[in-house]
Amino acid sequence: MKASTTRRILAALFGGLLAFVSVSDAKDIRTLARESGEPFYIGTTIPDDQIEERMIEFGKKLMEQKGVVRMKTLVRQLNRSQCALTLSAPQTTRLSAEDLIQTVRRSVLVVGSLYQCDDCKEWHLSAATGFALTESGAFATCYHVVDQAEHSVMVVMTDDGRLFGVREVLAASKAHDTAILQLDGSGLVPLPVTTNAPVGAPVFVVGHPFKNFCTFTSGMVSRYFVSEEDKVQTTMMSITADFGRGSSGCPVFDEYGAVVGMAESIVSTTSTGKNGDVKPSLIFKHARPADALRRLIRSPDSKS
């Protein structure tokens, strides 16, 4: 047998072995997700500690799986600038607050990454928020939620208690603090992403502030302003709907259940006087407008 023929046969066998390992690992991870426990639902009594514990245990088991994607890999992929997705069309009927929460709850995700504490050596969960963009597993969150190279793995939980690992970053922008990722699975309920809401328009937020999972608040768009960081100017949205740490990446909805923004940060204007007296003032809640997310997405029919 010629050496070239032998090399071709060995390459084919090795390639087939790699494909088998990859598919096998994916099946193991998805089986692990199906066995992750009982569901919880927004609008019911939320077992905060149990949610955190389940995500940590799932993440620890995920790290034992061959082929699992680590945070360092996801961080390296944050330079991807665009992806092709087909988004859902917005509804045309206004929803009451009660109907809105029932409509959007299945689409809001708990997005967490595991890190090992230097002091106690236990694994902990850094929790944030995300939301589904496609049924096939694409979801959105903030860039800074992903940019955690010192963490180990990323874990995503749906409203009905399903748990998933994250396969890859599809597109991201550091300047606009936005990221679109693909989880290792499907069956999500996607949210439509519409244009920016006008000042004064009512808005609603579902997020996980300080691990108070699935917190629902309401308010309005208070203003738009220009933010500059690293000499890059971007448009920001201020809202009066409350959110806190852990809400990064949570969707800001309009009355139709469409995403008009994504929560990012909180700025307090509270100051301390010369005598140590605290002078309370406003706390601003800042979000990225929907346009910041849409710029990451191109039509599947687009050639660019």
DSSP string, 163-215: EEEEEEEEEEETTTTEEEEEES--------B-PPPPTT-EEEEEE-GGG--SE
pTM of structure: 0.84
User: CA dist 112 to 81, 83, 116, 125, 191, Å?
Assistant: 23, 23, 13, 6, 20
Judge whether 9-183 and 202-298 match in fold.
yes
Determine contact, residues 255/202, Cβ cutoff 8 Å. yes
Q: How do the domains of the chain map onto residue ranges?
A: 9-183, 202-298
pLDDT in tens, the chain (304 residues): 544 444 444 444 334 433 333 334 444 555 555 455 556 665 578 889 999 999 999 999 999 998 899 999 999 999 999 999 999 999 999 999 999 998 998 999 999 999 999 889 899 999 999 999 999 999 999 999 999 999 999 999 999 899 999 999 999 999 999 999 999 999 999 999 998 899 999 999 999 999 999 999 999 999 999 998 878 899 999 999 999 988 999 999 999 999 999 999 988 877 777 777 777 778 899 999 999 999 999 888 766 5
In b/e form, how buried is each residue of 14-39, taking b as 16+ CB within 10 angstroms? Answer: eeeeeeeeeeeebebbbebbeebeee
CATH code given to domain 202-298? 2.40.10.10
CATH code given to domain 9-183? 2.40.10.10
Determine contact, residues 183/175, Cβ cutoff 8 Å. no
Name which of 295, 263, 264 is nearest 81 in CA terms.
295
Say what the pLDDT of residue 181 is.
Answer: 98
- Residue in the structure block whose two tokens are 């047998």: 1
Helix (H) or strand (E) holding 82: none
Determine contact, residues 108/42, Cβ cutoff 8 Å. yes
Name which of 123, 9, 119, 8 is nearest 61 in CA terms.
123
Determine contact, residues 229/265, Cβ cutoff 8 Å. no
Say what the pLDDT of residue 9 is.
Answer: 43
**C-beta atoms surrounding 257 within 10 Å:** 23
Distance CA 100, CA 98 (A): 5
Say what the pLDDT of residue 195 is.
Answer: 87
Q: Helix, strand or coil for residue 38? A: coil
Determine contact, residues 261/289, Cβ cutoff 8 Å. yes
Say what the pLDDT of residue 233 is.
Answer: 93
- The pairing of strands 215-229 and 232-239 is antiparallel
